[in-house]
Structure 1
């Protein structure tokens, strides 16, 4: 039964209106080390890195059987003041795209981080740069977003991002399948790689890339297999060039006021994603 809650989400997705059943305690409780705070100052990004094949083996603490990678949701964070520009072009554009007419009103990345992402190559010296891609998170609690929510210093973030409140942002949601299908339809070569997946910040030295169709799929499966790991909170999915706004299925917002501001912006569009109020996406993890 696909029941919609008052926040605009399908019932199974809203932990406020449809909380999960309380877990049944096991006979012998398993000891678990306390988790570190999500908010942290990351290592400084660098353009010097080694391309490493993704790790595809290992024991997962929370294993997903019958994993359906295509259903994985992907999340693009932007400031609400950037939304009219996105809708005017009808696309999310990569940083280095030649199609920009006006740059984002609020730039989330620091100049140093943007420069590093323009230097780092995805799969070798002759490949596309990280900045040639539209970035998505694999979790609505991604660590760089957590540092905005928790107002923690992060060298990847601009002063504007540090000064903004979490409710000033919106989260544009799609799925791996939607993006992949669109990329395949548009590609002249159906065997080409259509996106890359990383197990960390794409500009960091130690980050591993899945840059072919096979390695990207394996990387996604690895990340989804270990749901207790911080890896999926650091990971990125990188789509080359642009992502049509028509692939966005949901816009997550912090409260009713932001929803009421977003809906008129969408009013003239033929494609109107659901606008859902979902506060947990906009609060620091330690407050939940």
Structure 2
């Protein structure tokens, strides 16, 4: 790998934990005192601006998969599931052990009519619980000819108890 990366698997400078941003310097105090005015009710002929529609294309979707199933997915190049797109979830659930990985994609990357399967190419990140699992997953990806980003993110695997 040509770029340096942090312990979480992110490129140098992209991890706020390993490379925290400098705190902004506090502003000096204002010497002039603000004028105090009595509040007057304003009437406006304008209507309140309508809320913009929320774009869900950029929302991340997560899919929990057993590491043992990852090799088969990579060999086929397809994430196959009878549950289809519903196998992807907008919020994460706590997996029972480090034997699982999270496949992460953007909602906009999935075809709107994808009912039974998704191409593995839509996966932009694989989240793992620890460094040994990251190394194992990288080996599986390399053997299959994929260069998908693998990041260690323990909070996804922390027990909610």
Q: Distance in 2 between matches of 1:69 and 1:75?
A: 14
| Cα separation, partners in 2 of 1:273 and 1:283, compared to 1, 3 Å | same
2:58 corresponds in structure 1 to: 71
| Cα separation, partners in 2 of 1:135 and 1:18, compared to 1, 3 Å | farther
The CA RMSD over aligned residues, in Å, is 3.2
2:159 matched to 1:284?
yes
Larger helix percent: 1
Contact kept in structure 2, 1:5 and 1:11, CA below 8 Å? yes
Contact kept in structure 1, 2:103 and 2:127, CA below 8 Å? yes
Larger Rg: 2
TM-score normalised by structure 2 residue count: 0.66
2:110 matched to 1:170?
no
Structure 2, gaps ≥5 residues long? 23-50
The alignment covers a number of residue pairs equal to 131
Structure 1, gaps ≥5 residues long? 22-63, 96-130, 149-164, 184-193, 196-238
Question: Higher RCO, 1 or 2 (CA under 8 Å, sep at least 6)?
Answer: 1
1:234 corresponds in structure 2 to: none
Contact kept in structure 2, 1:94 and 1:134, CA below 8 Å? no
Of residues 118, 140, 148, the one that matches 1:243 is 118
TM-score normalised by structure 1 residue count: 0.39
- Superposed displacement of residue 16, structure 1: 3.8
Q: Distance in 2 between matches of 1:6 and 1:12?
A: 12
- Superposed displacement of residue 250, structure 1: 0.5
Q: Distance in 2 between matches of 1:137 and 1:14?
A: 24
| Cα separation, partners in 2 of 1:65 and 1:248, compared to 1, 3 Å | same
Mapping of 1:1-288 within 5 angstroms? 5-9=6-10, 14=15, 16-17=17-18, 67-95=54-82, 131-133=83-85, 135-139=87-91, 142=92, 145-146=93-94, 148=95, 165-179=96-110, 183=111, 194=112, 239-285=114-160
- Superposed displacement of residue 176, structure 1: 1.1
